[in-house]
Amino acid sequence: MKYSRIFILSLGLLGSQAFAAEGNTEAGIGGALGGVLGSVVGEQMGGATGAAIGAGVGGAGGAAVGARKGNKTEAAIGGGLGAAGGNVIGNKMGGSTGGMIGAGVGGAAGGALGNNYGSASRADDERESHSRKRNYRHDNGHHYGHKKRKHRRHD
């Protein structure tokens, strides 16, 4: 009976992912879903240690699937660490059910934060590259560089 509830929760989260905007929400939902499912599978295979490892792998995979194209690595790291840490803390506080809840919350928070961190990092990079670009509008495609206008006559 316990696993049927988790299955229904997973389908509900998966269905709500279609309505979520691209970005932090999808990465958070993916990290939560992956963390919970990884925790359940890992617990069946290897007890508490397997649950923590499974939550980390599942949270990383789910967050990476939900993240934007350029933010997948950051979201995967955040989702994996959040889900594994949440599973361990939840397991200490509330047993296996607490571990699943912790994996879901940690995977969601880590995936969303990782995705947001990746977006902020890319915005900084774009801002820097715009300041380094030269203005080649008036050189007919030759890209001459800085033209020296020595000894210009004033008539």
**What's the pLDDT score for residue 31?**
87
Q: Which residue in the block uniquely carries the two structure tokens 């925790």?
A: 39
Identify whether 14 is part of a domain. Answer: no
pTM over 0.85: no
**CA atoms of 87 and 138, how far apart (whole Å):** 60
Domain that holds residue 75: 22-130
Question: Mean pLDDT per segment of 10 residues, for the chain of length 155 residues?
Answer: 58 48 76 89 89 91 86 89 92 88 90 83 64 59 66 68
Q: Residue 118: what residue type?
A: G
**What's the pLDDT score for residue 57?**
92
Identify whether 73 is part of a domain. Answer: yes
Identify whether 75 is part of a domain. Answer: yes
Q: Residue 84: what residue type?
A: A
Identify whether 109 is part of a domain. Answer: yes
If one counts the domains in the chain, the total is 1
Identify whether 46 is part of a domain. Answer: yes
